[in-house]
Structure 1
Amino acid sequence: MQEQAGGLKLEKKQNGQSQREIRVGFVGNPNCGKTTLFNAFTGANLKVANWPGVTVERVEGRTSYKGRSIKVIDLPGIYSLTSYTIEEIVTRRCIEEGEVDVIINVVDASSLERNLYLTLQLLELKKPVILALNMMDIVEERGMEIDLHRLPEMLGGIPVVPVSARKRTGLDVLMHAVVHHYEEGPQGVVVHYDENLEEKIRQIEAILRAKYGDMENMRWHAVKLLEQDPEVMKDHPVDISHIAEKNYEKDIINEKYNYIEEVMEECMMGREEKSASTDRIDSWLTHPVFGVPIFLGIMATVFFLTFTVGDFLKGYFESGLEWFSGAVLAAMQHVQASDWLISLVVDGIVAGVGGILTFLPNIFILFLALAFLEDSGYMARVAYVMNEIMGRVGLSGKAFLPMLLGFGCTVPAVMASRALASERDRRRTILITPFMSCSARLPIYVLFSEMFFKEHAMLAAYSLYVIGLIVAIAIAFILHKREKNKDEDTLLIELPEYKTPNARTVAIYVWDKVKDYLTKAGTTIFVASIVLWFVLNFGVHGYETDVTQSFAAAIGRLLVPVLKPAGLGTWQIAVALISGLSAKEVVVSSFSVLYGISNINSAAGMAELSKVLGIAGFGMANAYALLVFCLLYSPCVAAVGTIRRETRSLKFTLQMVLFQIVLAWCFAVSIFQIGSRIL
């Protein structure tokens, strides 16, 4: 039996007394396995990747232990509780505002020294803290050993539980520690600084006590005021200028690391024997000269697999679609359905949605390869390698992380820009991220590359990814040169140990992307196909059998003079590009519906479309101009809405969309005008 009281979930114990739901916060450095551990407890299919900046918002789930209800909160990965980034602010507020009863501090056991800095800060908050030692297998592989008896002693008696997020071991022990430690209350060591700092802390505590009474975490607030923490100074303004004549943050950090060094000497054996394999690989992958060419080569291999393996599997999908389309047509003719209904279902829905589904193998191969790269630890190296290039255009390597996400989907990529410290960097990154070729553009690339560039199709499609990257960096460079105040932004990013990708993590990532693709096919593209069919088959006089008299033709003709210099001067192409604003995949399904080709991605379908376009004078130059236009023009409405929400500025969003459309037009015109004279 359950009841609600004070907004908290209660459940009845056998003795009749109620137990409050325990609220547990998962806190840790980026890439420590925190989200994987959260998934193991809750079964949530969250995005998990082996590089920082994935979780940018708190995510909640529920579990239970021996009948005790437990609410678990996955908080953004942070290196400290200093309010420099959005992640740090979100995590700290959640803990400070009493939303967490017990903190599970997930640490990467193979990088214990770095992780313990956050641990010491969490202990100062006077909350029950449990240390979850993850990745112990890496510790063993590197020939190291952690004294699991001495470590909790050095940290003031807090529970230390070895766990494996990937293998799901130690979970019961960890939940037992949560329930027991919650009832027992806070424990843990408090770092004592040198006498000078301790005296200043005592004096600030006296000032705080006089103004705010016996506030919670008095010592922690005093330490933060010594560090000139902006959040604490804003929430608890007091004059301490006569006590702290400077910012003591570096002094306090040094004192903490001095204690961490003592802990490491007592508890970690064999840490001087580092694994050389990661260093040997990094000597090439992060090389200042070879790093970028190697990255481009790896991505070229990914797209080679996307086309070769994906196209092989795609053939079976095409055969299935052709059979299904024929079966639907035969069934509707058998029941003597009206011609307009047959056209709606076969030419509109089946052709539109089915044409997109045939690209599923290409999408699957692409994201399977990217999942392996992410979970292996390579993607963090890409940000490191790109740091110097990004620095030249006024951004840090961390800005490259949202750009990498943009190769999957623009929406989470825009949201990942929260990891950047300044509003200027966030907006600039949001501006250039849509130029990364998201998965929705891949069907367009595959269709027109294979139709017009034959054996060079993979090269043509790959060039679009490179062009998008170059355009993004060029725009950032121009904006940087126009700036008067050019502040340096230092990259702080963890380069994790290389590891064998986890099958479950890869499966979650790929399924999430495939599910999103299928969801679009079942919703956005389904609706868009129906709407497109109606505007193609209805005009001012009602139902039209002549498509040239339809509403779509009228709308497209208005845009023909604008698109003609880019080699896109037919009303069908204009309508397809407009429809692509709902979702980029819709461009392909639009061509299918506009030209009445039921299986547009099959060899016969592509031959038919190529013939129809060829009659209109559409050749290789036109095709490449179309591909570049689709690469650069406005992202889908979902991405635009996310940009509006993240920037909180309608003006910025509209200006950005207009800028991208104009830029796409300029590039397409240049490519067509030059290409048509060469080819």
Structure 2
Amino acid sequence: MADTIALIGNPNTGKSSLFNSLTSTHAHVGNWSGVTVDKKLGKLKGANTTVIDLPGVYSLDPLAKDEAVVADYLMHNEPNLILNITNANQLKRNLMLSLDILELGYPVILVLNMIDSLHRTGRQYNLSILKDNLGCKIIATNARGHYGIKDLRNEIVKRGDFKEGPLKIAYPEIVQQAIRQVARDLVKKFGFTLQKATWLSIQYMNKNKYVRKYAESHHLTPLLEQTEYYDRQDFNNKILTRRLEFINKLLAEAVERVNGVNDIEISNQIDRVVTNPILGVLIFILILFLMFKLSFDWVGTPLSDYFDSFISGPLSNTFDNWLIQVGAIPALRSLIVNGIIAGVGGILAFIPQIFMLFACIAILEDTGYMARAALTMDRLMQVFGLNGKAFIPLIIGFGCNATGVMATRTIEQPKERLVTTLIMPFMSCSARLPIYALVTAAVFPQNQALIMLGLYLLGIFVALFMAKVYEVLFKVKENSTFVIEMPDYHVPRLDVLFHSTWENGKGFIKKAGTIIFAGTVFIWLLSNFGPAGFITNSSGSFAAIIGRCLVPIFAPIGITSWQIISSLFTGVLAKEVITSSMMVMFHTSSQAVLVANLTQFISPTTGLALLTFILLYSPCTATLATVKQETGSNKWMIYSLLSSTLIAYIVAFIVFKLSSLII
């Protein structure tokens, strides 16, 4: 049986970077049994050893689903080795989790990651003192610079010189006596090892919610019978106080001064600006604007134009000529050239814009700014009944709403988690970008970035407004505790940026070969077949019939083109399909030709209403399925579909009427 190594640490300690450095590139993600929290598995390079990257947690006392996974794993599994990843520059705080792990008694290597950040403060730790007091191996690393990775891998393979038994902290005698007594009873009555029984006792007395729930479900009477006594005697505070004393004494002995440049003050000065309640929000908006300028004006769009000219020109013509030569029937030629190439190819032409946007987001994450943005927005979101813990899933929702909904698992309060899930579809995901680009190019060619910024801000405003409405309706009285680690500022690494951009962007390409392909064929069938069978004039197609029937409904928001209306309904399948549907409806594989066609049907006021409706209406099927999975209810999935579409219509109507007065 292969050995197992578990990676455990606080968030933002570089745990994922270490995981990637230690494992092969064939790591895979799945779900823990019984919960919808991701687990990441990989193979240690050069060894038959499974590496498990557990969710980042601050303690083994869980608040959210992902934190409970770590406590559950340690309760029911015995890894051959635990890598406890810490931020060397924040070791005092990180060691609180380390003590929980070391008291369990499994072999542990304490990894002092980000050691370069510690050295820049003019400090270092005497590793021998740390090792002697903690009873585990200590390895200093810098995962970003690959420093110490080889030593860590060698230590993992060697696995020698580990201190036997768990770490023993000298708790007050009243606590020690209670631990010894209840541990003996657990061993005698329930068959636990003394090591496990002692750890259970300490965690139970320390009010670990998972352990207390475990004790109740397994009827561990030696613990349950003494609960009132432990709480009355304030055992948890006695344990916490002694742990802090242990950590302070240890670090005072181990810290050493070295020559270095203390950049903490520079970092603090930057933070005072970017996290300022007013300046911070303005800076965040400015950064979004620059992202859109790069994606739609300066870099992304010019590259997309070159890509589009190739697909709609040489590629499309080559296939059309080849099909003529082989004698393909007109219907097949139309399907391949006007359906598949026009639809799927038209979507792929937007790859440069999509990847440029993901690259910008990767830069914000790798520099350390994104955590500051969450802290800045925390103050604003509290006004609407949320906090910074909800901001992280909402930001993830800019990439993909379905992924953002899954990220709400970190929110421990059920009602707040539900509210965040319901407002997630208002975050403008990357799938909407192609249709935004087409409409803005047709109506607002000189102000694409500004319109994009306005759409994103409108989505955020609607989401926060609805969050306040839901706070009142659901009577949300408690909010989740928002704790975030402030990572050091970094110069972005090209390999990290490339990996992050590719991982986020490749899903867009996958959709082109699956959902978008299927949607393109479906819309081609609707637009090329009618009651009379195969037709060459799409005005007599099923798509035209459906679109014309719905014109009275969409006319109040200025949309009267049946081609556009029919395309909107395919967006429920996937938002990218709206663009491919329009390519098929207007019989073109060229963005430029489609833009020219759209200018005939869309005025500036109609364009604003259309963009607003696309921004807010029904989540795609993947997001709806995720809502059902996370809430465990068809009711909330259906509600999300209907409510978002109704809200989209109302807001689009308001935008259409207001813009008609202004423009």
Counterpart code for 1:516: G
**1:424–1:186: structure 2 CA closer, same or farther, 3 Å change rule?**
farther
Residues 204-213 or 521-530, more deviating: 204-213
Give 1:74's match in structure 2, choosing from 40, 46, 53.
Answer: 53
Q: Which residue of 2 aligns with 1:154?
A: 133
Residue matched to 1:178 = 156
Q: 1:410 aligns with which of 396, 401, 418?
A: 401
- Aligned mates of 2:381, 2:423 — CA distance in 1: 12
Deviation at 1:483, TM superposition (A): 4.8
> Where in structure 2 are the equivalents of 1:196-595 lying within 5 Å?
196-209=174-187, 211-215=189-193, 217-237=196-216, 238-241=224-227, 243-246=229-232, 248-270=235-257, 275-308=264-297, 309-321=299-311, 322-484=313-475, 486-595=477-586
Output one character per residue of 1:124-180: Cα deviation in whole Å (capped at 9) or x when no partner: 111111111211121222221121221111212x11112232233433432333344
The answer to whether the 8 Å contact 1:581/1:634 transfers is yes
Query: Do 1:193 and 1:252's aligned partners in 2 also have CA atoms closer than 8 Å?
Result: yes
Per-residue deviation, 1:488: 4.2
SS at match of 2:447: helix
**How far, CA to CA, are the matches of 2:28 and 2:379 in structure 1?**
28
Change (3 A) 1:251 1:561: farther
Which residues of structure 1 form unaligned runs of 5+? 1-19, 49-54
Q: Is the 8 A contact 2:106 2:166 kept in 1?
A: no
Superposed CA offset, 1:559-594 (max 9, x none):
222222122233222211111111111111111111
Matched AA of 1:288: P
What is the identity, as a one-letter code, of the residue corresponding to 2:274? L
Residue 611 of structure 2 is matched in structure 1 by: 627
- Match for residue 620 of structure 2? 636
**In structure 2, how many angstroms separate the alpha carbons of the residues matched to 1:199 and 1:607?**
82
Which of 107, 128, 147 aligns to 2:107? It is 128
Structure-1 separation of matches of 2:116 and 2:613? 49
Alignment CA distance shift 1:145-1:241 (3 Å): closer
Instruction: Decide which moves more: 447-456 or 215-224.
Output: 215-224
Q: Percent identity?
A: 36
Say if 2:304 and 2:349, in contact at 8 Å, map to a contact too.
Answer: yes
- How far does the alpha carbon of each residue in 1:399-452 deviate from its partner, in whole angstroms, 9 at most, with x for none? 100001111111211111111111111111111122111111111111111110
Amino acid at match of 2:23: T
Partner of 1:651: 635
Structure 2: how far apart are the matches of 1:122 and 1:30? 16
Larger relative helix fraction: 2
Residues 178/526 of structure 1: CA separation in 2 closer, same or farther (3 Å cut): same
For 1:630-670, what per-residue CA distance to the aligned partner results, in whole angstroms no more than 9, with x for missing partners? 10011211111111111111111111111001111111122
Alpha-carbon separation, structure 2, partners of 1:44 and 1:414: 27
Q: Which amino acid aligns with 1:201?
A: I
Once the two structures are overlaid, the 10-residue window that deviates more, 328-337 or 393-402, is 328-337
Q: Which moved more, 1:178-187 or 1:221-230?
A: 178-187
Question: Normalised by the size of structure 2, how large is the TM-score?
Answer: 0.93
Distance 1:183 1:556 in 2: 74
Separation in 2, partners of 1:228, 1:202: 18
CA contact (8 A) 2:415 2:474 kept: no
- Aligned in 2, Cα 1:511/1:274: closer, same or farther, shift over 3 Å? closer
Aligned match of 2:39: 58
Q: How many residue pairs are counted as aligned between the two chains?
A: 644
Output one character per residue of 1:540-572: Cα deviation in whole Å (capped at 9) or x when no partner.
332122322222223223322222212223322
Q: Equivalent residue for 2:73?
A: 94
- Answer whether contact 2:78 2:106 (CA < 8 A) is retained: no
Map 1:112-127 → 2, pairs under 5 A: 112-127=91-106
Structure 1's 205 and 554: CA in aligned 2 closer, same or farther, altered over 3 A? same
Q: Whole-Å Cα distance in 1 between the matches of residues 329 and 284 of structure 2? A: 55
Counterpart check, 1:672 vs 2:656:
yes
TM-score normalized with structure 1 length:
0.91
TM-fit CA distance, 1:207:
4.3
Q: Deviations over 1:377-397 (max 9, x none)?
A: 111111111111111222121
SS of 2:111's equivalent?
strand
Distance 2:407 2:109 in 1: 28
